[in-house]
Structure 1
């Protein structure tokens, strides 16, 4: 039952991410908008204060590594562009498909792994996976943003 509930929550969160991503492409990007989500998400690490969520070193490494691998797909579909002298996120049709694909993989993995890994540890592993995915993605986004920002600054200086 908990697997079904957590899967429904994951689907709702994915839909929310897609809506936010689509709407955000209409507004300029700022470093704060890139950096804050992983910081906010990091508060979830407090779950590991409770033994029910503890994972082994191998489970941590597996989850984090898989998160980093998944982040590659997000990095590849997160591009910026300059419009009206400001930096915007480019809309990407692939992003939605990748997000849905990652969600399906997550649900399948959770269904399979829940038969052999304790629910609390599995929850911890999926948080680690998500954190391992968002941190490299946001770092790559920030570096890409900084590069465009510097180009924009130097072109503005040259125009003056």
Structure 2
């Protein structure tokens, strides 16, 4: 599929896309702190992202079982940082994400770390295979984070209703 495109162009292109996507996520996340949270706003991102798994229909993106485990473990580790910095607060009788001064720096740090890992591993893995691994890593990061957010949101919502 990517045989006629030099791997360095694929690497540069995918790195640029990662920076663009990371910037978009950060802007959306910072804007979302100004609006009340809802169950829908919490669960849509992982559901929408899950469609990216269709990449594995193409053999170029498939990864070995050990690589899947590695990507999942790293994603779970990254999710702990996001879970720890995602808090809710009550304002005007509604639930909002609590603004964290550290969150933009954490997102930038995770993005930089992801780019560094990509550059390091691009010497030993095919770019498409690496893309598959990073999809698994990202999904393994966002799913537990959003599930933790949902549980906290529901708990706060239940407390709000009982008052």
Q: TM-score, normalised by structure 1?
A: 0.95
**3-state SS in 2 of match to 1:138:** helix
1:118 Cα offset (Å): 1.2
Q: C-alpha offsets along residues 85-137 of structure 1, whole Å, 9 cap, x if unaligned?
A: 10000111111111011011100100010100111111100000000000000
1:93 corresponding residue in structure 2: 101
- Partner of residue 120 from structure 2, selected from 112, 119, 124: 112
1:76 Cα offset (Å): 0.8
Q: Structure 1: any 5+ residue segments left out of the alignment? A: 156-160
Q: Structure 2: any 5+ residue segments left out of the alignment? A: 1-8
- Partner of residue 127 from structure 1, selected from 126, 135, 155: 135
Query: 1:18 & 1:35 partners in 2: Cα distance?
Result: 17
Query: 1:53 & 1:19 partners in 2: Cα distance?
Result: 29
1:13 Cα offset (Å): 1.1
1:71 corresponding residue in structure 2: 79
2:24 corresponding residue in structure 1: 16
- Partner of residue 44 from structure 1, selected from 39, 52, 60: 52
Query: 2:52 & 2:94 partners in 1: Cα distance?
Result: 33
Q: How many residues align?
A: 155
1:142 Cα offset (Å): 0.2
1:42 Cα offset (Å): 0.4
**3-state SS in 1 of match to 2:89:** strand
1:150 Cα offset (Å): 0.4
